[in-house]
Each structure stands twice: as C-alpha cells, then as structure tokens.
C-alpha cells in the first residue's frame, strides 16, 4: 500500500530501529515507547486489521516471533505483554496489522 507508513518501513523506504527481519515479518522499536521495551512486529504484507485475516499460519508465526523477540530483548523471564489494538475503541491508529510487544516494567491490569 503506497500511503502506509508500515509498508514503507517494511520496504526500507522509511527508517526504523529494526530488531528482527525475515521474508515475512519485520520488528522495530516503537517511535513513542510506552515501556522500556516496546517493539512493533508486523507482517510485510499489508493486512489492515486483525479482523481482516484468518491466516492461521501468519498469526501463529507472529505470536511465536513475539516470544523469540521477548527472549532477545531480555524480558522473557520477567514478563511481557502482547497487544493488538483493533479498530477505534481499542485505539488502533495505523491500519497495518501490528503486534505491540511491551516489557521492562510492571504492567497494570486492567489496561486503560
Ligand atoms: P496503534 O495505536 O495503531 O495500536 O499503534 C501504532 C503505533 O505505531 C504507536 O505506538 C506509534 O507510536 C507507532 N508509530 C507510529 N508511526 C510510527 C513510525 O513512523 N515509526 C515507528 N517506529 N513507530 C510508529
Ligand atoms: Zn501497510
């Protein structure tokens, strides 16, 4: 998608602090971190929202990748949170599927 900032990051035409990349996914630091570790994991393919896909393999891989990156970032044992904001009430602001991986501090529950 031409106007999508995350597609541009996936293509490399917009820079980001990348922590992981393969053929299907790229993971990078959030520009406005909400925790000491705040990584966004995205499929390179433009899928607007979680509710726009039933691709079990892709979604499964994304979650497993979150575990791997949590380990790489040193937050696996202490704990981490994965969040996929979907649509307006959840606060989705970028219409390209992305998983937030947050850690490095104690998380409150319920979330805001
Ligand atoms: P959402 O609110 O849609 O769940 O999350 C979008 C996230 O993308 C926000 O946490 C925001 O800080 C992050 N973000 C928006 N634009 C950019 C950007 O250009 N680069 C990076 N690294 N993160 C971005
Ligand atoms: Zn996109």
**pLDDT tens, residue by residue, 26-35:** 999 999 999 9
Q: Which two tokens stand for residue 22?
A: 């393969």
Residue 46: active-site member: no
Q: How far is the CA of 32 from the centre of ligand 1 (A)?
A: 7
Does the beta carbon of 13 sit less than 6 angstroms from any atom of ligand 1? no
* Residue 39, C-beta contacts closer than 8 angstroms, at least 6 positions apart: 19, 27, 28, 29, 30, 69, 73, 100, 101
pLDDT at 57: 98
Q: How far is the CA of 50 from the centre of ligand 2 (A)?
A: 13
pTM above 0.95, yes or no: yes
CATH architecture of 5-103: 2-Layer Sandwich (3.30)
Among the bound ligands, the one closest to the CA of 4: 2
What helix, strand, coil percent values describe the chain, rounded to 5? 25, 20, 50
* Residue whose CA is at the smallest distance from ligand 1 atom 15: 31
Given the CA of residue 90, which atom of ligand 1 is nearest to it? Answer: 4
Question: Which tens digit of pLDDT belongs to each residue from 45-67?
Answer: 999 999 999 999 999 999 999 99
């Amino acid at each position: 998608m031409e106007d999508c900032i995350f597609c541009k990051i996936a293509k490399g035409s917009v820079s980001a602090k990348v922590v992981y990349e393969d053929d299907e996914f790229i993971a990078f630091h959030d520009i406005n971190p909400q925790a000491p570790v705040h990584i966004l994991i995205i499929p390179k393919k433009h899928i607007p929202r979680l509710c726009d896909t039933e691709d079990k393999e892709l979604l499964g891989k994304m979650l497993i990748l979150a575990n791997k990156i949590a380990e790489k970032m040193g937050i696996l044992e202490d704990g981490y949170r994965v969040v996929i904001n979907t649509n307006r009430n959840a606060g989705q602001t970028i219409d390209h599927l992305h998983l937030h991986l947050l850690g490095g501090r104690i998380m409150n529950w319920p979330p805001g």
